[in-house]
Amino acid sequence: MKTMTPEKIKQLPTILHILDMIAGEEERLRNNVRWNLLSNLGAEDKFEIKSETPNGPCVLQPTSSCFNSYFRGQPQYYEDCIPTIFRNKEKDNIDRFIDRIRSSEFELLLQTHPFVQLIYNEGIVFKNFGKDVLVSLKVDYLGLAQHYELDTDMLDFTNDKWVAAFFATCIKKNNRYIPMDSEGYGIIYRYSLTPEHFLPEKHNSIKSKKISVIGLQPFKRPGEQKGFALKIEEGENLNNVSGIQKYLFRHDKLAAEIIYNRMNQGENLFPYDELEELAKKIKSSKRISNNAFELACKKYPVEQMNEEKLREVCIGKGIKFVNCPVVRFSKDIKRNFLTDWKKKGEREFFSKIVHKQYF
């Protein structure tokens, strides 16, 4: 897509027109009798227990008024829309492997959090047809790493059109978001799963799932942003991904301010949690734990390189391997978590979850 002239930009709709179009689709679906089984009417801003695989852990998926639609908002259109791990063309395979080690360091950190250890790993109990059923929950470690701005091969998506609109019309300055002025144009992406995705597994051996649910996690931010993540392979471009639709819009300051204020100046989307600063330290650290290195070697092997060679070339890039974790949660976090969980945390957490009866 070539640079648009000012005249052509003026002909584009505003973001509010795009939101109105999507809202119209949602309304038509609600009024369609075939939509009833899929409708989340009455369960807005909740999270539904969904099984990703027959025997695997469940995810807590954000409910939505728009079936099979996932959105991404950007204040600017890029010819190459690719994940952070592939954006710097000067990085080689080892630089990207180091990024993946940092994601592994982040995963090991999360595994030590009491919410992960005591709630997600142990599972939660729901009544199903009058019986207590223990449901294990998935922590999307890589999706969370992307959400907390580590370099990964994922792109952030949401199933909430207003969240996407916020990121399409607001930019970060001096560590806070502000609405855009009426200059230039942005884009809303909509990703829909292909029809093959909805076929039963046994009838669809070639099915591959690109979108993953982050949803309600042990940390607040992904839930507030109703987060999903879309995996993009090296050499792949979001603009050309099957199932992607693109909606260009012209920036309009009043429209941006309406969205900004509707999202409480962004405060709703960025609740404080202790993970943010720790993620920043991991991202900038030249020190990496041996455990993270070993985990990355298992999950992200590099062709024609064994662990010994990989360690050597990483050291050549300035990495220092250490025996202890690079960052830790504070010592009193477990005590504080358990106190808060019993006082109000458990009630608040379960109040956000809905589930359909299953066998």
User: What value does the mean pLDDT take over residues 102-120?
Assistant: 92
Looking at residue 43, what is its pLDDT? 62
- pLDDT-derived band at 27 (thresholds 50, 70, 90) equals confident
Looking at residue 103, what is its pLDDT? 97
| CA atoms 109, 114, 118, 119: torsion sign | negative
CA gyration radius for the chain?
A: 21
- 272-309 pLDDT tens trace: 878 889 999 999 999 999 999 999 999 999 988 999 99
Residue 213, strand partner residues: 228
Looking at residue 204, what is its pLDDT? 44
Looking at residue 38, what is its pLDDT? 54
61 or 34: which leads in pLDDT: 61
Q: Decide: residue 201, CB within 10 A, 0-12 exposed, 13-18 middle, 19+ buried.
A: exposed
User: What value does the mean pLDDT take over residues 235-257?
Assistant: 95
Looking at residue 300, what is its pLDDT? 95
Res. 74: pLDDT tops 80: yes
Residue 255, strand partner residues: none
Tell me which of 178-182, 186-190, 261-265, 335-339 is least confident.
Answer: 335-339
Helix (H, G, I), strand (E, B) or coil at 85: helix
CB atoms within 10 A of CB 270: 17
- pLDDT-derived band at 33 (thresholds 50, 70, 90) equals low
Looking at residue 165, what is its pLDDT? 98
User: What value does the mean pLDDT take over residues 241-256?
Assistant: 96
User: What value does the mean pLDDT take over residues 48-60?
Assistant: 83
Looking at residue 346, what is its pLDDT? 86
Res. 75: pLDDT tops 80: yes
The full set of domain ranges for the chain reads 1-83+153-273, 93-123+276-349
Tell me which of 14-18, 37-41, 76-80 is least confident.
Answer: 37-41
User: What value does the mean pLDDT take over residues 88-92?
Assistant: 92
CB atoms within 10 A of CB 280: 14
User: What value does the mean pLDDT take over residues 220-248?
Assistant: 93
Greatest Cα-to-Cα distance within the chain, rounded to the nearest angstrom: 64
Looking at residue 196, what is its pLDDT? 54
Residue 190's closest CA among 248, 139, 149, 136? 248
- pLDDT-derived band at 237 (thresholds 50, 70, 90) equals very high
Looking at residue 306, what is its pLDDT? 93
User: How far apart, in whole angstroms, are the C-alpha atoms of residue 125 and residue 74?
Assistant: 39
Tokens, residue 311: 């360690």
User: How far apart, in whole angstroms, are the C-alpha atoms of residue 270 and residue 248?
Assistant: 26
Res. 55: pLDDT tops 70: yes
- 315-357 pLDDT tens trace: 999 999 999 999 999 888 878 888 888 898 888 888 898 876 5
Encoded amino acid at 34, one letter: R
User: How far apart, in whole angstroms, are the C-alpha atoms of residue 119 and residue 109?
Assistant: 16
Res. 197: pLDDT tops 80: no
Find the length of the chain. 359
Looking at residue 319, what is its pLDDT? 97
Residue 106's closest CA among 332, 327, 271? 327
Res. 359: pLDDT tops 50: no
Looking at residue 35, what is its pLDDT? 56
Angular region, 162: left φ>0, alpha ψ -120 to 50, beta rest: alpha
Res. 358: pLDDT tops 50: no
Looking at residue 130, what is its pLDDT? 64
User: What value does the mean pLDDT take over residues 122-128?
Assistant: 76
User: How far apart, in whole angstroms, are the C-alpha atoms of residue 71 and residue 164?
Assistant: 6
Pairing assessment for the beta strands 353-354 and 47-51 based on DSSP bridges: parallel
- pLDDT-derived band at 72 (thresholds 50, 70, 90) equals very high
Looking at residue 129, what is its pLDDT? 55
